[in-house]
Structure 1
């Protein structure tokens, strides 16, 4: 590839899958209309029918019934993958996909078997760097949140009350830039997350806040924490370069009717994101062995980082609560000073207005007002920490958690059964060779064994293709995740800047009161 022809913004030299052209974050209009007068029309035109094909999520270890019971899955990073089967060189015991005598069916066969592009597409170091940069350029975690969520009055259910959430946003959808308001329940968020995990198991998907925290489910603090968690979830979702283009995400943000009713009528496609796709030869040719090391190091460091950052969030939460406690003490100071000034006049000679105790009490009034002002500033600082800074710190915590969950799904669903299928294929080929050496063997038996060999080869190439597509997803997620490091920068910059601002406000208040009380008597005047 000539580097002068590389467009980092529009071309994916590693053969990334072509996603839907619409994005709910950009100016381009999605293919979905934001108006849904009838759920039936949505069902017919919006989403493909529920696939009857094998879903690797439902049974990732399954094989052809010919193989018997599922065996332990292989590791897609290991040597079991036989990547040469995708590059045109036949692996031992396999027919090359370029071999005209091969039993492997053409690329357009629905099983999704894989063959190379027919030419290598090795990139230069500069082009590789541009490609990685183009991946990172798709993700902007520091952009302002576009969706706000607030609670609306509870509704009586048949057995209990439930809380609805009003989502307000002005995301441009199908050319419509108007403000959109929709109502959703917590269960609607759960449904969306479950769908995304099924369709995008190898993407870093944000998680939902728990349905219940410790304490009463009707506790105001619990409800606020859950609402903020839902807000972080949906805003992180629409910032993801792939998940933001999922049609069901657009549906979630646009269907004005009750989503539960829509879900009952809609026929939702639950196929994994790369169903029916084949890996690009370019991605294989440009695969970096260092990716394995990077991924391993990332996984090893994730949990310690998550625990450390979680403790930082806890400390910031404590700092906010201490601000409120100090504000409460300041308020008590102000109240007690006023009571003290009203009481001490009976203890001291205060017949004249200009007596020392009169002057002292007048200045105590200034000090009392100072404590009240400080309490107000501390409360504002605590509110700002709770509503802004702590949520931003938790956003980074959410991104770490989403990557941890991605690793867990990878270990659960990312394996393969290529070694087992290979052994079965080898046995079938040996049997075919034995049958061909016997003149009295029935032709039907030979055809049956050939059919077994064909099925095994297609299964192997299908699994190798899937392994490479998983690798592609992980590479994309790894490089887009790199942008989250700047959340750390902004989190501390904003918080410390606010601390300085509020400290300056306290300083101004104290400077002012010191000027006011400079005439408080320290001793009896002898004049």
Structure 2
């Protein structure tokens, strides 16, 4: 059964088999004789993602064919021949005495020797032929390197087999003298001479890694797309960076878990490198990360660049060298082909418990027909892994996450969720456009594995290492780098910083322009509706003579229709800006900010301690000379070896750190070459935006031109001759009262719902109170009580209604718990994720969120005279609509939010919880705390999260609203002074804002 879905059919087994895996293989017990290799036959169930099933058949044949003589280093062959010459043979096979001699020379423990023998001789046979002996040596090498002693481990290392250390069977290299250990400055490697033509690698049988795909040049490709094609031999890759194998085949090293172990250069018994060390080594000129000399593919068809070298440049080759297949730009991507796109879709259903729910996103690639479901935290995990592995590359940006508790984005409205979805789309597309990151196995798995990522991460053992770990410096690479690279890096970093700030402002300005277009479209709609309403009043307005009214109405209707058309065009244009040029600007902004972050990471992480190591080497050398100058009897055993090992390790560390510095420079140079392409994206968004402006300008012009032609074609009424002014008596007769305004009409309807009176009585009370709803309602009820008018008693009905939502078994007598409260709020049809839920909680004076009391419920609705859910629902809906425009109502809801948001018995709110409720209150559904140029709530959130560590008390909560109201009226903060009575947190926030905005004379605070 496959771990990640349906296993492939038999025809695809051979193409998808691999010997590299993300997963650590369990150490087999003596009773378990099977592994992934039991699937080498053509039987069913050969999914590379499947969990191995125990099989015992075929183990002996597997060992005999696993490591043929053509696939092993020379040391394996020499060791076999030496043992045969020593007489430890039986019929051309190694006898038990020879096996014992090998295990003794390896100095392995009894358990390790028993494990090895149980694998190579499962049937109890005591002799081994050449192929079986090769497996024995490979297992011994794995044991000495402290890796798992399994056939899986041997097969994973078959292109980079370990060389066992057998000092009693092969000669060793003498210890280096003092002169050889002398401190030397880092030497630039030189290109070795061309090897003889006859020394070539033997033919290899390449096996595809499990993390790769049938076409190594395109790991995103489908196997069906390449059947029947005649491609050249593929070279498996790991993270897009090939490396020469130690046993004669060019093969990638493993870099995470089973596929990320650092490679080791195999040596023979005489200390010389294996046959590959004599093979010609070419300078890396591959565009992305081919630091080991396996690629000469240059950037942009090896065209000369201003950065130095030949594209990614290495030294030129002789033209006579034997090279492995070259790796093209980006690990085999075809330049000029269709651009890969990833589509991020927000799934409508949420997952998780109430108040702790999260959104899911479908990540799909139409070209590859892959669909996976991921959540926001999965993207965060992926970026964290990429930052550890590729700190010196241009990593894309993730959109911010809204403040929440345990991943529950309480304050996230639909607008923010859509912005985050677009940000995730930009992040994913930037990944697959990057020539190195797109080849990273974690990225491929993230975009293709259909299993939930949290489950997949538990199954996989992932140890992310920096991409330069274990790499040796290729000859000529350092010479190929331009000496002016550092100046270029500094100049580019300065320009990127300035451009990033400008693009951030451009995105804000374009967003405001799009929103203004939406507002202009809304005003056009109101204008069109008003013109249409005007036609209804025309017949009464011109009742004196109605002959020309039909013509007049036709002109008004034509104008209203074209105004409505203009409104539709404005909405389309605003939508096009939002989805087009604004996204293009954000893409360019993200690219610049990611480059800025890359340079910042280099400043933090590109450091070494080479001067310190050189001083320590000199000290150890002096000490070594002193020790050797002593008589033999005074030298402690092992003292010379200890000092010598310290000198060797320090020199190796210097070489590794020096090589890492060169790799970092090459990596940054490559990233700059890739970043250079963004200038064409700038040209494209300018052209697209100009085309959009021309398109909608022409459509608007055509619309108004059609209106002008229609009005000219109509025979509109001509002005009549002037008439004499009306008499005083006529003016008195036509005098009438002004109708209420829309705001007064809302107050009138609310007063009628509240009191149950007629429109005439409601109008009289509201006019008497100056159209103040609260004062008018108080006056009405006060006069009703003083006059002895029978008031409607709703206590009994409200009590029964409250008991309907109370659980008699779990809730107290006068309290409704979380379940009943949530049910009641659901009946009121309020949105429980924004400010709407706070309105009914204020009316019933809920003590905490998720609980209501009988007294608060009855008293609150009794004062309003609303005793049914339908009336209450209508009243709450009306209050929600009034909330943004009614400061008194908003203030009541705001202040009660502090009461119900606190935990039972607490006097203050935690900053994290306060930010959640502030986000609900200052959202578009409430009263946004923002002005034309400043988003005050974002600044307030940043300030509290970075500067404020205390809790939020009642005074700070109330004063925040007062400061918010004043700051929205005067964004220059001229109302604030150091001698004012504002709380200390407000004073510190003002200083923070002035410092961030660059205003003069920021306040100094302790």
Offset of residue 207 of structure 1: 1.5
2:433 aligned with 1:276, yes or no? no
Offset of residue 204 of structure 1: 0.6
1:230 aligns with 424
Offset of residue 108 of structure 1: 2.3
2:502 aligned with 1:312, yes or no? no
2:352 aligns with 156
Question: Aligned match of 1:202 in 392, 406, 420?
Answer: 392
Question: Aligned match of 1:524 in 719, 731, 755?
Answer: 719
2:264 aligned with 1:84, yes or no? no
1:383 aligns with 575
Change (3 A) 1:405 1:235: same
Change (3 A) 1:239 1:372: same
Question: Aligned match of 2:557 in 365, 373, 386?
Answer: 365
1:76-110 Cα deviation digits (max 9, x unpaired): xxxxx95535459xxxxxxxxxxxxxxxxx98279
Q: Residues of 2 paired with 1:262 and 1:314: CA distance? A: 39
Change (3 A) 1:108 1:149: same
Offset of residue 446 of structure 1: 2.3
Q: Residues of 1 paired with 2:16 and 2:500: CA distance? A: 37
Q: Residues of 1 paired with 2:686 and 2:278: CA distance? A: 48
Q: Residues of 2 paired with 1:189 and 1:36: CA distance? A: 27
Change (3 A) 1:496 1:36: farther
Question: Aligned match of 1:191 in 381, 389, 403?
Answer: 381
Q: Residues of 2 paired with 1:274 and 1:407: CA distance? A: 17
Change (3 A) 1:424 1:462: same
Q: Residues of 2 paired with 1:289 and 1:455: CA distance? A: 29
Q: Residues of 2 paired with 1:145 and 1:503: CA distance? A: 33
2:990 aligns with none
Change (3 A) 1:397 1:382: same
Unaligned runs of 5+ in 1: 1-27, 50-80, 89-105, 173-178
Offset of residue 219 of structure 1: 0.3
2:356 aligned with 1:169, yes or no? no
Change (3 A) 1:424 1:212: same
Question: Aligned match of 1:399 in 591, 606, 611?
Answer: 591
Q: Is the 8 A contact 2:363 2:373 kept in 1?
A: yes
Change (3 A) 1:395 1:265: same
Offset of residue 217 of structure 1: 3.2
Offset of residue 384 of structure 1: 1.2
Within-5 A mapping of 1:87-486: 87=190, 108=265, 128-129=304-305, 131-132=311-312, 144=339, 146-152=341-347, 153-157=349-353, 160-172=356-368, 179-212=369-402, 217-349=411-543, 353=547, 355=548, 357-439=549-631, 441-442=634-635, 444-486=638-680
2:986 aligns with none
Offset of residue 383 of structure 1: 1.0
Change (3 A) 1:143 1:303: farther
Q: Residues of 2 paired with 1:492 and 1:299: CA distance? A: 24
Q: Residues of 2 paired with 1:158 and 1:358: CA distance? A: 59
Offset of residue 319 of structure 1: 1.0
Q: Is the 8 A contact 2:186 2:655 kept in 1?
A: no
Offset of residue 156 of structure 1: 2.7
Question: Aligned match of 1:504 in 698, 715, 724?
Answer: 698
Change (3 A) 1:448 1:158: farther
Q: Residues of 1 paired with 2:630 and 2:337: CA distance? A: 71
Q: Is the 8 A contact 1:169 1:180 kept in 2?
A: yes
1:16 aligns with none
Q: Is the 8 A contact 2:391 2:601 kept in 1?
A: yes
Offset of residue 521 of structure 1: 3.9
Q: Residues of 2 paired with 1:363 and 1:244: CA distance? A: 61
1:214-264 Cα deviation digits (max 9, x unpaired): 995330001001100001000110000000001111111111111111111
1:366-425 Cα deviation digits (max 9, x unpaired): 000011101111111111111222111101111111111111221121111111111111
Offset of residue 341 of structure 1: 2.1
Q: Residues of 2 paired with 1:132 and 1:345: CA distance? A: 80
TM-score w.r.t. length of structure 2: 0.40
Offset of residue 122 of structure 1: 12
Q: Residues of 1 paired with 2:17 and 2:487: CA distance? A: 38
Change (3 A) 1:225 1:140: farther
Q: SS at 2:402's partner residue?
A: coil
Offset of residue 143 of structure 1: 6.2
Offset of residue 344 of structure 1: 2.7
Q: Is the 8 A contact 2:355 2:410 kept in 1?
A: no
**Which is helix-richer, 1 or 2?**
1
Q: Is the 8 A contact 2:16 2:48 kept in 1?
A: no
1:24 aligns with none
Q: Residues of 2 paired with 1:29 and 1:82: CA distance? A: 47
Q: Is the 8 A contact 2:284 2:477 kept in 1?
A: no
Q: Residues of 2 paired with 1:269 and 1:210: CA distance? A: 26
Q: Is the 8 A contact 1:120 1:285 kept in 2?
A: no
Q: Residues of 1 paired with 2:711 and 2:355: CA distance? A: 63
Offset of residue 277 of structure 1: 1.6
Q: Residues of 1 paired with 2:333 and 2:466: CA distance? A: 22
Q: SS at 1:395's partner residue?
A: helix
Q: SS at 2:397's partner residue?
A: coil
Q: Residues of 2 paired with 1:282 and 1:301: CA distance? A: 31
Change (3 A) 1:235 1:36: farther
Q: Is the 8 A contact 1:39 1:266 kept in 2?
A: no
Q: SS at 2:391's partner residue?
A: coil
Highest CA radius of gyration, 1 or 2?
2
Change (3 A) 1:455 1:208: same
Unaligned runs of 5+ in 2: 1-14, 22-45, 53-151, 158-183, 192-262, 268-276, 286-297, 314-327, 722-1006
Q: SS at 1:108's partner residue?
A: coil
Name the count of aligned residue pairs. Answer: 436
Q: Residues of 2 paired with 1:316 and 1:471: CA distance? A: 37
